[in-house]
């Protein structure tokens, strides 16, 4: 199987709860459904998810209907904003100019998205493991196992210090 994606479910600390390595031709929402269905039985107390803005559409409805969990979408304040059309020669109201300034200002600079950094940090932790930097494994289950081993190693090192 060429081309794989790692789909992770992490806790609020960034520690991996569940991982699935799936073909790259699946969308992120489809992969997320597979991971959440696998995690549903193992984590019965799980009731709330923080999700990226890319999962917003049908995935959000699927989680609410199928699993009954609540969701909070973590998204840039200016996400999906391309601008507005305004007729030439017609003055813009000052309140609209101020609102547009707020939306477009974030495009030019870095914006911290709440809770998003947790998952990015987890991927950074995993990148410290040489075996996980490239997709060398024949079976996706082997990659999943190495991700669990990497997280066990990280947690054991923290307990020891």
Kindly report, residue by residue over 71-120, the tens digit of the pLDDT. 888 877 666 666 677 888 888 888 887 777 666 654 556 667 778 788 88
Assign 3-state DSSP to the chain and report helix, strand, coil percentages, each to 5: 50, 15, 35
The confidence score (pLDDT) of residue 157 equals: 92
- The C-alpha angle 146, 152, 156, rounded to 5 degrees, equals 145
DSSP assigned state of 75: -
CB atoms within 10 A of CB 55: 21
**β-pairing, 16-23 with 70-74?**
unpaired
pLDDT of residue 77: 65
50 pairs with which residues across the strands?
Answer: 72
- DSSP code of residue 109: S
The predicted structure's pLDDT at residue 19? 93
Q: What is the pTM of this model?
A: 0.73
Go through the domains of the chain in sequence order and give each one's CATH number. 4-75+113-160 (3.30.420)
pLDDT at 1: 46
């Amino acid at each position: 199987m060429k081309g794989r994606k790692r789909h992770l479910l992490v806790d609020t600390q960034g520690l991996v709860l569940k991982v699935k390595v799936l073909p790259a031709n699946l969308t992120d929402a489809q992969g997320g459904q597979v991971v959440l269905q696998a995690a549903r039985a193992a984590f019965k107390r799980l009731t709330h998810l923080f999700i990226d803005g890319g999962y917003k559409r049908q995935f959000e409805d699927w989680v609410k209907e199928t699993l009954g969990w609540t969701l909070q979408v973590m998204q840039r304040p200016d996400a999906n904003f391309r601008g507005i059309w305004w007729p030439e020669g017609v003055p813009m109201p000052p309140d609209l100019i101020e609102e547009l300034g707020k939306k477009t200002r974030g495009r030019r600079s870095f914006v911290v998205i709440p809770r998003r950094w947790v998952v990015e940090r987890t991927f950074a932790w995993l990148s410290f493991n040489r075996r996980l930097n490239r997709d060398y494994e024949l079976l996706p289950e082997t990659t999943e196992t190495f991700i669990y081993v990497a997280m066990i190693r990280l947690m054991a090192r923290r307990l020891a210090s």
